[in-house]
Structure 1
């Protein structure tokens, strides 16, 4: 039991390790490898808090470690990937000068969100603004969608630098926008309490089966839309505490 109490922090550090490895893959323009390691890091991030609560060892150290690990995996890595895309390493449409560094606005937005999340007591059962892992998956999937989409004409806009800059600005803003979004983290085994979450997971799995990598940005967009609709029709909205 003495060792088990360290399991949540160990999982958090594995998230950080995955982020470091993903950054190395991104530096080599291996966006498939970077995406895979970010996904694995988010997997560890999903379960560290779960086990901390189940083992009764949740505390301020775990909260800080979690945000620091997320800063790399879900902040630095997607910002770097966007910078690479704007520099022309994901497709032959580069822009020059300072503009590729605008990709790091994603990193800055993630940093501000993570710091704010640690002191915002309203986000215990749901989120306000797009969570950094969801945003990271969205950004990390873009170069793969461009490369592997079955019908590339659908995504021709993603090959335009100004479209990518627009996505960067929207991404940074959504992470810090005052929009309530439901949490996919399940704190107890209860189908009735998590109908929305479980239904969305089934929907996401079906999209992945039929659309593969193209499904990832669609899932994130659907997550935002479903959250907004659920907030509009539910009272009180998403369990946000006043």
Structure 2
């Protein structure tokens, strides 16, 4: 069972670009911006997270499940954020930001209780809603300014005010500012992780000790 669970996790983690399989995602930046928006914000990279969330009710108590997902998810979150801070290409910054968010989602989906699973669901939706507009904004800026280099971009907000509004709202949601969905999702995640979840199993057929008999 442990070997089978570990092999399934290797497939899920490589699909969702979790360390040490995270290199392929930023390297996919050669795709056109609309493709990048789909790849980074919607179904493609979330497939591994979805698989983890679907299997958690059955396998969260298996010995390799939580150590592998919590350690690698947290490591990916930190490494992705650190790498994003050191880059100047706007598209690569968003790509490594996606890697970091996927690590966070892996921690939530892999924790294996009801509260963190609900927070992961909200975070998946919030991430799709703020990351897709940011990638499309990057494409518009690249087309208008002829560059994605943050060091060379100046006055874009004045030239493209509507695009600036969309980018500000999406960025605020990504940063977790109220009253946007990103704030609600991250507050739910931090509350669930900070209190250790509610301890309730994801499998509805299994009873929690606090349930009335």
Q: TM-score w.r.t. structure 2 length?
A: 0.47
Q: TM-score w.r.t. structure 1 length?
A: 0.42
